[in-house]
Amino acid sequence: MAQEGYPADPAIWRSFKEIETEAVVGARFSTFTTPGAAREYRRRYPQAANRIRVLENGFDEESFAGASPESGREPLVPGAITLLHSGVVYPSERDPTQFFMAIAKVAEARQVRVGEFVVRFRAAGHDDLLRALAQRYGIESFIELVPPIPYRAALAEMLRADALLVLQAANCNEQIPAKLYEYLRAGRPIVTLTDPVGDTAGVMRAAGLDTIARLDDVEDIVALLLRFIPSVRAGEGQLPTAAYVASTSRRGRSRELAALLDAAASPA
């Protein structure tokens, strides 16, 4: 609750800190959704370190069962490799500026042509920013901005995409986007633009994926796109391992929670 510089009001910060301390120190267990967050709280509260656990987010198989795309695996944009980003693009935490610059460089080198590659942003929440960036770098023909759709329709769209896009800045190294687990379940190749030492990259590597580049490094992204796009076009894009995907289902997470509740009910 109490972070460095947040809340800005000192009185509110102290109140948040007191609540946080009472909760973590007094709890039988405290759970966090990422390894980085758990590590930070073990540092803050060493007296509770052995009672801090990681319980990650996951995907809901029942939702996917009702989200089978009506048109099967037909491409979202016929004739083009479509890279889908589903959800909000935060201007700081998911800044796509260097990504757009990288697309411009790849296009200038004639490694992709209009009609062959499209990045679709579904419900980005900041369409004006994305439109302005696309115009600035001359890549309007490669960018598609589309409005929100119902949840299961969004899952069906993930299933039909040629590939999926993750944007996560280094200032979120201790966070993992919840939709990442839905991406894994969708079983499509994934472009992950994030800090290689952050928790998001850690999940990708655990899933057997190395299609990772730094979100703030244009040349790193260019190098990734130059190998990623041809591999997807050839039907050889990396897919997450089935065993890892199965481990991230909410049923699996519920079993972890049940075990933790059993432990909490037992004598300390």
Using DSSP's 3-state secondary structure scheme, residue 82 falls into strand
Q: 18-25 long-range contacts, Cβ below 8 Å, gap at least 24?
A: 21/45, 24/48, 24/52
Ranges for all domains in the chain classified under CATH 3.40.50.2000: 62-245
The pLDDT value given to residue 268: 65
User: Which of 162, 173, 158, 164 lies closest to 216, judged by CA?
Assistant: 173
Give percent of the chain above pLDDT 70: 97
Fold of 62-245: Rossmann fold (3.40.50)
Cα dihedral sign for 24, 25, 30, 36? positive
Using DSSP's 3-state secondary structure scheme, residue 229 falls into helix
- In angstroms, rounded to a whole number, what is the distance separating the alpha carbons of residues 197 and 33? 17
pLDDT surpasses 70 at 148: yes
* 123 dihedral zone (left: phi>0; alpha: psi -120 to 50; beta): left
Q: Per-residue confidence at 61, pLDDT binned at 50, 70, 90?
A: very high
Give percent of the chain above pLDDT 90: 89
Compute CA distances 217 → 129, 176, 183, 190, 223, whole Å: 19, 20, 23, 18, 10
